[in-house]
Amino acid sequence: MSEELENLEKQIEEKITNATTLDELNSIRVEVFGKKGLITNHLKSLTELPENERKEKGKKINNVKNKINTLLQQKNKNLSDSEISQKLQKEQVDITLSTRPFEEGKLNPITQTIAEVSTIFQKMGFETALGPDIEDDYHNFTALNIPPEHPARQLHDTFYLKGKNNKLLRTHTSPVQIRTLEKKKPPLKIIAPGRTYRADSDITHTPMFHQVEGLCLDKDINMSHLKGCIMDFCREFFEINDLPVRFRPSFFPFTEPSAEVDIGCFKDKKKIKIGSGGSWLEIMGCGMVHTKVLKYSKVDASKYQGFAFGLGVERLAMLKYGISDLRSFFDSDIKWLNNFGFSIFENIEKI
User: In the complex, which residues of this chain contact ligand PHE (CB under 6 A)?
Assistant: 172, 174, 213, 252, 255, 285-287, 308-310
Q: How far is the CB of 152 from ligand PHE (least distance, A)?
A: 10
> Which is closer to ligand PHE, CB of 265 or CB of 286?
286
Q: How far is the CB of 255 from ligand PHE (least distance, A)?
A: 5
> Which is closer to ligand PHE, CB of 109 or CB of 285?
285
Report DSSP state, residue 34.
Answer: S
Return the beta strands (E) in the chain as ranges: 106-107, 127-128, 134-136, 167-169, 188-197, 208-218, 245-252, 255-267, 272-274, 279-289, 305-312, 342-343
Q: How far is the CB of 242 from ligand PHE (least distance, A)?
A: 26
Taking CA 130 as the corner, what is the angle to CA 129 and CA 136, rounded to the nearest 5 degrees? 130
Which residue type occupies 58? G
Q: How far is the CB of 199 from ligand PHE (least distance, A)?
A: 14
Cα radius of gyration rounded to whole Å, the chain: 42
Measure the CA dihedral 267/272/277/282, to 10°. Answer: 90
> Which is closer to ligand PHE, CB of 58 or CB of 207?
207
The closest alpha carbon to 4, from 48, 44, 64, 47, belongs to 64
* Distance in angstroms (rounded) separating the CA atoms of residues 224 and 40: 103
Q: How far is the CB of 151 from ligand PHE (least distance, A)?
A: 14
> Which is closer to ligand PHE, CB of 114 or CB of 286?
286
- Write out the DSSP string of 251-318: EETTEEEEEEEEEEEEE-SS-EEESSSSEEEEEEEEEEEPHHHHHHTT--TTT-EEEEEEEEHHHHHH
> Which is closer to ligand PHE, CB of 65 or CB of 225?
225
> Which is closer to ligand PHE, CB of 13 or CB of 232?
232
Count Cβ atoms within 10 A of the Cβ of residue 270 and give its class: 0-12 exposed, 13-18 middle, 19 or more buried. Answer: exposed
Q: How far is the CB of 112 from ligand PHE (least distance, A)?
A: 22
Going 186 to 190 to 208 to 314, the CA torsion angle's sign is: positive
Q: How far is the CB of 173 from ligand PHE (least distance, A)?
A: 7
Position with the least CB separation from ligand PHE: 310
> Which is closer to ligand PHE, CB of 32 or CB of 294?
294
> Which is closer to ligand PHE, CB of 141 or CB of 329?
141
Q: How far is the CB of 166 from ligand PHE (least distance, A)?
A: 19
> Which is closer to ligand PHE, CB of 69 or CB of 250?
250
Q: How far is the CB of 252 from ligand PHE (least distance, A)?
A: 4
Q: Which residues contact 117 (CB under 8 A, 6 or more apart)?
A: 191, 193, 212, 233, 237, 311, 313, 316
Other residues' Cβ atoms within 10 Å of the Cβ of residue 276: 13
